[in-house]
Chains A and B, each alone.
Chain A
Amino acid sequence: MAHEHHHDHDHSELSETQLRVRALETVLTEKGYVDPAALDLLIETYEKKVGPRNGARVVAKAWTDPAYRARLFKDATPAIAELGYAGRQGEHIVAIENTPKRHNMVVCTLCSCYPWPVLGLPPVWYKSAPYRSRAVSDPRGVLKDFGVTLPPDSEIRVWDSTSEIRYLVIPMRPAGTDGWSEDKLAELVTRDSMIGTGLPKSPKDLAK
Chain B
Amino acid sequence: MNGAQDMGGMHGFGPVQPEANEPVFHAEWEKRAFALTLAMAMPGQWNIDASRFARENRNPAEYLSMSYYQIWFAALETMLKERELVSNDEIAAGHAIGSPKPVKRTLTPGDVLKVLHRGGPTERETNTAAQFKAGDRVRAKNINPVTHTRLPRYVRGHVGVIERVIGCHVFPDSIATGAGENPQWLYTVRFAGSELWGPNGDPTTAVSVDAWEPYLEPA
Contacts and interface: CB of A to CB of B under 8 A. Distances in A.
B197 to A, nearest CB: 6
A146 B33 contact: no
- Of the four ranges (under 10, 10 to 19, 20 to 34, 35 or more), the interface on chain B belongs to 35 or more
Contacts, number: 277
Interface stretch (A37-45, A65-73, A180-188): A37-45
Given A3-B67, A33-B43, A87 B117 contact: yes
Contacts of B32: 21-22, 25, 39, 43
A34 B122 contact: no
A33 to B, nearest CB: 5
Instruction: Report whether over half of chain B's contact residues are helix, strand or loop; otherwise say mixed.
Output: mixed
B216 interface: no
Contacts of A127: 68
A130 B152 contact: no
B73 A157 contact: no
A165 interface: yes
A163 B166 contact: yes
A18 B67 CA distance: 13
B85 interface: yes
B94 to A, nearest CB: 4
A156 B152 contact: no
A159 interface: yes
A27 B91 contact: yes
Interface in B139-176: 150-152, 154, 166, 169-170, 172
B95 A26 contact: yes
Interface stretch (A53-61, A133-141, A169-177, A199-207): A133-141
A165 B172 CA distance: 13
A149 interface: no
A22 B29 CA distance: 7
A93 to B, nearest CB: 11
Interface in B67-112: 67-68, 70, 73, 76-77, 80, 85-86, 90-91, 93-96, 100, 103, 106-109, 111-112
Contacts of B55: 111
Interface string A1-43: 1011110100000100110111111111011111101111111
Contact of B209 (A6, A38, A162): A162
B219 interface: no
B11 A24 contact: no
A89 B19 contact: no
A124 B16 contact: no
8 closest A-B pairs by beta carbon, nearest first, are A23-B94, A163-B210, A109-B8, A30-B96, A39-B35, A31-B100, A87-B119, A133-B10
11 contacts: A109-B7, A109-B152, A125-B19, A133-B11, A134-B16, A137-B9, A137-B200, A139-B205, A157-B206, A162-B209, A165-B210
